[in-house]
Amino acid sequence: MDTLLTINMAQKSTTLQFSKEQFRDMDMYISKGYYSSKAELVREAVRDKLRSLEKDELYTQILELRKKSKNREAKMTSPFISTEDSDELMKQLARKNKLEL
């Protein structure tokens, strides 16, 4: 890693180190018009990663709640969730994550 990129976002900045190959790849996607700048590319990559982590967390929570389900035997043998159990899981997830349904 020998190339630096400093990004200023909303009055906060961070410096990132990238290899020459990573910088070359970023430049290639910018030149193809996918992104207007390296900052935009990095922001989108971070946003995508955070969304992915959030989905992973919710999936883990769903699995934990499925284990606690009333119909445990059916849950463990079938990949599908009954409507009743699905509603229960959604309510529990909403409460746990302070969301409104």
Top-confidence residue, 24 or 85: 24
Q: What DSSP element (H or E) covers 74?
A: helix 72-77
* % of the chain with per-residue pLDDT over 70: 65
Q: Taking 60 as the threshold, does the pLDDT of residue 76 lie above it?
A: no
Mean pLDDT of the chain: 78
pLDDT for residue 31: 97
Question: Which position has the higher pLDDT, 95 or 37?
Answer: 37
